[in-house]
Amino acid sequence: MRTSLTVPEELLEEFDDTWQSEGIDSRSRAIRQAMSEYVQRHHALEATDGRVTGAIVTDYDHHAAVDRMYELQHEYDDAIISTSHAHQGDWCLETLFVDGDAARIRELVYRLKNFDGVRRVRTMML
């Protein structure tokens, strides 16, 4: 199936450099692999149930997301037990340590993924 998408030029250039340096045969193959990994992470998060303790790590553009990030942290103060924050220029690296119902933690992860200015959201759960 053919499809098209809009991607920032810098990201596409970085993606192309990456898959080519790994020796992958084509951009299409690299995109299929990236999509497969994304789906696998989603299924793993969805399969988590019961009470969990974990960490959610995100990096984001300070100016684009910091206010919404702090609002969200207050909204989920029942699940966030601690945070750690570091800066590199205009970018922030934020770790949210969480404890609570898996469904509530998933909801937080999905909200973070939908923020403008957020580049990545990764999770590790016990």
pLDDT digits (tens, 9 = 90+) for 48-79: 999 999 999 999 999 988 899 899 999 999 99
**pTM assigned to the model:** 0.84
Taking the CB of residue 90, how many other CB atoms lie within 10 A of it? 11
Residue 71 domain-assigned? yes
Question: Are residue 40 and residue 62 in the same domain, yes or no?
Answer: no
| Domain span at 27 | 9-45
Question: Are residue 58 and residue 74 in the same domain, yes or no?
Answer: yes
Question: Are residue 61 and residue 76 in the same domain, yes or no?
Answer: yes
Q: Sign of torsion, CA 110 116 122 126?
A: negative
Question: Are residue 58 and residue 112 in the same domain, yes or no?
Answer: yes
Q: How confident is the model at residue 1 (pLDDT cuts 50, 70, 90)?
A: confident
Helix %, strand %, coil % of the chain (to 5): 50, 30, 20
Question: Are residue 32 and residue 76 in the same domain, yes or no?
Answer: no
Question: Are residue 28 and residue 79 in the same domain, yes or no?
Answer: no
Question: Are residue 107 and residue 74 in the same domain, yes or no?
Answer: yes
pLDDT digits (tens, 9 = 90+) for 10-43: 999 999 999 999 999 999 999 999 999 999 999 9
